[in-house]
Amino acid sequence: MEYGLKPLGRERFWLWALLTPTFIGLIFGALGSVIATVVLSFAKWDLLTPPSWAGVSNYVELFKDEKILLSLTNTIKFTAMYVPGVVIISLFVAVLMNRRIRGVGLFRTAYFLPAVTSAVATALVWNMIYGRDTGILNFILERLGLQPVCWLCTENAMYAVVIVNIWGAIGEGMIIFLAGLTAIPREYYEAAEMDGASGFHQFFRITVPLVTPSIFFQTLISTINAFQAYDYIYMLTRRGQGDSSVPVVVFSIYRNAWNFFNYGGASAQAIELTVLVALLMAFYFWLERRYVVYE
Amino acid sequence: MKNRLLVLVVIVSLLLTACGGGQTPAASNAPVTISMMMWGDPAELEVWNQIVTDFHQANPNITVNVEVSDWDSYWTKLKTLLSASTPPDVFAIDAPLYLDYQSRDVLMNLQPYLDQNPDLLKGVYPQTLEAYKTPDGMYGLPRDFQTIALFYNKDMFDEAGVAYPTGEWTYDDLRNAAKQLTKIGVDGKVTQFGFSADLWDMELIWSEAIWAYGGEVIDADHTETLIGEPKAREAWQLFHDMLFEDKSWPDPNTVGEYGDDPFLAGVAAMTPVGHWAVPGYAEASFKWDVAPMPKGPAGQATSVNSAGFVIGKASKNPDAAFEFLKYVVSEPAQKRLAELGFACPVLQSVAESDAFLKQSTPIDHKVFLDSLAFAHMKPVFKGYDEWSSAIGDGMAGIWTGEAELDPTLDEAVQAADEVLASMK
């Protein structure tokens, strides 16, 4: 298949001339660093002295090193809670925000605000909410006669950071779902109403099937974001000099490379992360073919 | 089509070579520009710009471009520049991390220059030079140093009727005073702590206490971690008792609630820290002063650490770069650093002059200099960061109350020893 007009003669020259800077950026920047990462993952390199061949030892470490395994487990746990959380809650919020109510613009802005606020600044605010002795959340719990909870202690920190990350992602999810929801013709609902379908039925029989493309897209984006999540997690769980009580893979990569001079190991971890995301994507696309409805 | 591609390739390669621009080494008397990189905040940049301007006046042929980044970005940027073989001519180094770079052969040996200037380091505190010595000479020079002292909130001591800390205090006195200064509410919540200290890195409390109890942190060859030996354990036990029995010392989770510094937040009566905290604490709304670190069964001990400058091995202007290093340890530059108030000057004559002792913050600055008499050098060895993380991360669970002291300490020592073994 061919689309549009084919460039001819001089046009073709300028086409290439104007595209070259982008291509150079792409080849040296994106593709180059991907290839470099793959090569480095088989090397022992401290950045300052020449790299030496390390075979698959970096990959063996991925399965042996307890710290690396812990960070992988944390990332998987995080993703398993974060992705459904973001998709379900932001769909719910989008449905609420898709009504003609007074001040809906204000509410939409409020839900979107976390997306445009500095993660570091909001993480500090969340620190004040989660504090054990001085936190607002525990203050409320105690007023209700409940026991205070140490939200950021190791046993609860994972849930605490999942909540903050979901909170930060609702805004963007809501935008995606709102776009999907407004595309659903009102006639469907009117027809359903006439047939006596309840709101519950309308939601699951009309809304959900027709926003499956948005659900698919949002799940994809959230999964990628979950694997790359770092800023809120680090700000809420950091301790000592550069340690975190909930180390995730991205954190572990950064620390191995920049603090511990282990660029080979960090590259292997980066490849591992990419492969995991790619596998999940393949699974999603398989699901897409079976379940996603395009009008 | 093919010809045009060829033209493009030529254009691109021309562009690339233009970017990589040829540099010719400067003749000895021609004006040169050297680059200098360091970590710091805006206040420090201002003072360093002043030092650089003074230096340029004294050496009109040399211009220095200063670039300052925050601590984390500094190391990332530096490593990237070093790996691209385009390091700044002069850059700052923290003594414990010095061997990570020196051992990887990216620093210039300063010994030939030092041999030509035998009097250069005469007035410099010898304790601050130790860290930079290697078997084949010095690859760096200190610019300022830090000893750790005990900062105390006078208002809290006055209110509780407790006598201020003195140089004669023992760790038992510290513990008792901390207990008296701690306020526990009716609901069991601590509203004021007697003491607070960072337990992650050795510099603020644990190396000092281990030394005072007669223990060691690491052996002389840097092959064995000694913080699990019986004498060191007495120090760890003291911390544990203060945190969990006396509740006079907040755990790390609580510390986080107070912006990571309960002393500055006005909820802890004492904290051990270096002179770098002085400008920040000067803004506090309470009265405070400093005292030497307490004594232990084996005597008094504190930690001394320095920040210094090194020259990149790939520097094209090593002569000019060394001129600048010479200037940094000279009196005019050291005076400016003293006025900045973050650290102690390495030049004894400046440190003992009014420039340092009569700074705007009215505390006993002399404590930091006198502490040198019983200071141990913060260890300097390759892999310090990773070793320190193995201990800090490994023991974190103890201080949050989630892990037992003794077995966790054993595991941390083992993890730290593995790091040391991997550095050989």
A173–chain B Cβ distance below 8 A for any pair: no
pLDDT of residue B16: 43
pLDDT of residue B253: 86
- Cross-chain CB nearest to A258 (options B1, B79, B400): B79
Task: Report the 10 Å Cβ neighbour count for B152.
Answer: 25
The CATH code of the domain at B33-147+305-377 is 3.40.190.10
* A 246-285 residues inside an 8 A Cβ radius of B: 255, 258-261
B395 → chain A, closest CA residue? A240
Task: Tell me which chain B residues have a C-beta less than 8 angstroms from the C-beta of A12.
Answer: 1
Q: Are B35 and B89 in contact (CB under 8 A)?
A: yes
Cβ contact A12–B1 (<8 Å)? yes
Cβ contact B253–A20 (<8 Å)? no
B54–chain A Cβ distance below 8 A for any pair: no
A293–chain B Cβ distance below 8 A for any pair: no
pLDDT of residue B18: 41
Is the domain spanning B149-303+380-422 CATH 3.40.190.10? The answer is yes
> B152: which 2 tokens?
């105390």
Q: Are strands B149-153 and B140-147 parallel, antiparallel or unpaired?
A: unpaired
Cβ contact B257–A259 (<8 Å)? no
* Relative orientation angle of helices A57-64 and A263-291, to the nearest 10 degrees: 70
pLDDT of residue A163: 96
User: What is the Cα–Cα distance from A247 to B329, expressed in whole angstroms?
Assistant: 42
Cβ contact A240–B100 (<8 Å)? no
Interface probe, candidates A40, A133, A147, chain B, greatest B C-beta count within 10 A: A133
User: Does residue A13 sit within a domain?
Assistant: no
Cβ contact B402–A153 (<8 Å)? yes
Torsion sign over Cα B194, B373, B93, B380: negative
> Which residues in chain B show pLDDT less than 50?
1-3, 5-27
Task: Report the 10 Å Cβ neighbour count for A76.
Answer: 15
Q: Are strands B344-345 and B140-147 parallel, antiparallel or unpaired?
A: antiparallel
Report ipTM (2 d.p.): 0.80
Instruction: Give B122 to chain A, closest Cα distance, Å.
Output: 33
Domain count within chain A: 1
B386–chain A Cβ distance below 8 A for any pair: yes
Q: What is the pLDDT of residues B27-61, one digit of tens each?
A: 456 899 999 999 998 888 999 999 999 999 999 99
A150 → chain B, closest CA residue? B253
Instruction: Give B262 to chain A, closest Cα distance, Å.
Output: 13
User: What is the Cα–Cα distance from B236 to B239, expressed in whole angstroms?
Assistant: 5
User: Does residue A280 sit within a domain?
Assistant: yes
Q: What is the pLDDT of residues A233-255, one digit of tens each?
A: 998 988 777 788 899 999 999 99
pLDDT confidence band for A93 (50 / 70 / 90): very high
Interface probe, candidates B93, B189, B389, chain A, greatest A C-beta count within 10 A: B389
Cβ contact A16–B82 (<8 Å)? no
User: Does residue A73 sit within a domain?
Assistant: yes
| Cβ contacts of A169 within 8 Å, gap of 6 or more | A82, A86, A90, A114, A115, A222, A225
Number of Cβ pairs closer than 8 Å across A and B? Answer: 85
- Cross-chain CB nearest to A134 (options B200, B257, B400): B257
User: Based on the number of CB atoms within 10 Å of its own CB, is B305 exposed (0-12), middle (13-18) or buried (19 or more)?
Assistant: buried
- Cross-chain CB nearest to B4 (options A16, A132, A261): A16
Instruction: Give A76 to chain B, closest Cα distance, Å.
Output: 22
Q: Are A72 and A272 in contact (CB under 8 A)?
A: yes
Cβ contact B252–A261 (<8 Å)? no
Instruction: Give A72 to chain B, closest Cα distance, Å.
Output: 17
User: Does residue A154 sit within a domain?
Assistant: yes
Task: Tell me which chain A residues have a C-beta less than 8 angstroms from the C-beta of B76.
Answer: 258
A239–chain B Cβ distance below 8 A for any pair: yes
Output the pTM of the full model. Answer: 0.85
User: What is the Cα–Cα distance from B338 to B351, expressed in whole angstroms?
Assistant: 7
**Residues spanned by CATH 3.40.190.10 within chain B?**
33-147+305-377, 149-303+380-422
- Spatial CA neighbour of B56 closest among B34, B39, B37: B34
- Cross-chain CB nearest to B402 (options A131, A154, A255): A154
Cβ contact B200–A46 (<8 Å)? no
Tokens 């050496």 sit at which residue? B59
B82 → chain A, closest CA residue? A48
Instruction: List phi, psi (to 5°) of A52.
Output: -125, 150
- Cross-chain CB nearest to B389 (options A47, A152, A243): A243
A48–chain B Cβ distance below 8 A for any pair: yes
Cβ contact A240–B393 (<8 Å)? yes
- Please report, for residues A19, A28, A29, the alpha-carbon distance to residue A22 in angstroms, rounded to integers and kept in the order given: 5, 10, 10
Torsion sign over Cα A104, A107, A113, A115: negative
Count Cα neighbours of B275 within 13 Å in the Cβ-side half-sphere: 31
Q: Are B245 and B257 in contact (CB under 8 A)?
A: no
| Cβ contacts of B128 within 8 Å, gap of 6 or more | B142, B145, B304, B306, B346
Q: What is the pLDDT of residues B149-194, one digit of tens each?
A: 999 999 999 999 999 999 999 999 999 999 999 999 888 889 999 9
A66–chain B Cβ distance below 8 A for any pair: no
B133–chain A Cβ distance below 8 A for any pair: no
Three-state secondary structure string covering chain B:
CHHHHHHHHHHHHHHHHHHCCCCCCCCCCCCEEEEEEEECCHHHHHHHHHHHHHHHHHCCCEEEEEEEECHHHHHHHHHHHHHCCCCCCEEEEEHHHHHHHHCCCCECCCHHHHHHCCCCCCCECHHHCHHHEECCEECEEEEEEEECEEEEEHHHHHHHCCCCCCCCCEHHHHHHHHHHHCEECCCCCEEEECCCCCCCCCCCCHHHHHHHCCCCCECCCCCCECCCCHHHHHHHHHHHHHHHHHCCCCCHHHHHHCCCCCCCCCCECEEEECHHHHHHHCCCCCCEEEECCCEECCEECEEEEEEEEEEECCCCCHHHHHHHHHHHCCHHHHHHHHHHCCCEECEHHHHCCHHHHCCCCCCCCHHHHHHHHHEEECCCCCCHHHHHHHHHHHHHHHHCCCCCHHHHHHHHHHHHHHHHHHCC
A230–chain B Cβ distance below 8 A for any pair: no
pLDDT of residue A91: 96
User: Does residue A107 sit within a domain?
Assistant: yes
User: Does residue A21 sit within a domain?
Assistant: no
Domain CATH number, residue A138: 1.10.3720.10
Tell me which residue range forms the domain holding A64.
59-291
User: What is the Cα–Cα distance from A275 to A268, expressed in whole angstroms?
Assistant: 11
B397–chain A Cβ distance below 8 A for any pair: yes
* The pLDDT of residue A6 is above 80: no
Interface probe, candidates B83, B253, B387, chain A, greatest A C-beta count within 10 A: B253
Cβ contact B76–A258 (<8 Å)? yes
